[in-house]
Amino acid sequence: FSDTAGRGSATGARTVFAVGDEKQSIYGFQGAAPHMLGESGSYFAGHARGASHTWNDVSLTLSFRTTTPVLDAVDSVFVDPVRTPGVARALGALRHESSRQGHAGLVEIWETELLEATSDVDTFVPTGERTAPSPAVRLAGRIADTIKDWLETGAERLHSEDRPIRAGDILILVRRRAAFAPAMIAALKQRGIPVSGADRM
């Protein structure tokens, strides 16, 4: 265990400090492999303890970004190891706290949009008009309709500022741009909803 073994010119104890978040690596962002964080942590912990060094696993559970209802939903997903095979369980169940106590939040789970079987059409109908709208297009339409309703009725409020939601308050996050972002932008524009484009969206 070269990082802490032996003597060197420095007089203090040699240490290892590593920070990582397996949950942020689930989608393989920039080639990340979430299981490797847990494996590396176990490797270093075993060697440190074997050399009689102190090893601390520090769980960073306080979130400054989001609210309690959203964090509770995330924790509910991650509590099932079948759904999250890349997340280590060395620290026990994942439970997060929000620094934004008392702030509103809501998680909705919508029905999945599935491929629809195409019906028989006239041979002379152009090919592009024969297929049913893709799931991405239908989902984009549902989201855009929901946003349009928010903006037109004023029923949805931004509680932190005690006012109705505006278009600029809404952020749409997508897992991948290729299939969904163009459809989402088109659906918003068709309904006259201001949108900044894929990079901002």
Structure tokens at 144: 């855009």
- The pLDDT score that the predictor gives to residue 176 is 75
Number of C-beta neighbours around residue 55 at 10 A: 13
Residue-level pLDDT at 1: 42
Provide the greatest CA pair distance for the chain.
Answer: 84
Q: How far apart are CA 131 and CA 135, in angstroms?
A: 12
* Residues 171, 198 contacting (CB under 8 angstroms): no
Q: Which pLDDT value is given to residue 31?
A: 73
Cα separation of 147 and 167, whole Å?
8
Whether the Cβ atoms of residue 148 and residue 142 lie closer than 8 Å to each other: no
Q: What does the pLDDT read at residue 115?
A: 84
Instruction: Answer whether 164's CB lies under 8 Å from 154's CB.
Output: yes
d(CA 177, CA 191): 20
User: How close are the terminal C-alpha atoms of the chain, in Å?
Assistant: 46
**Digits of tens for pLDDT over the chain (201 positions)?**
445 555 566 667 777 887 777 666 655 667 777 777 778 888 888 988 898 888 888 877 888 988 999 999 988 887 877 776 656 554 456 788 999 888 888 899 999 988 876 666 666 766 655 567 889 999 999 999 999 999 999 988 887 788 999 999 999 988 777 778 999 999 999 999 999 876 655
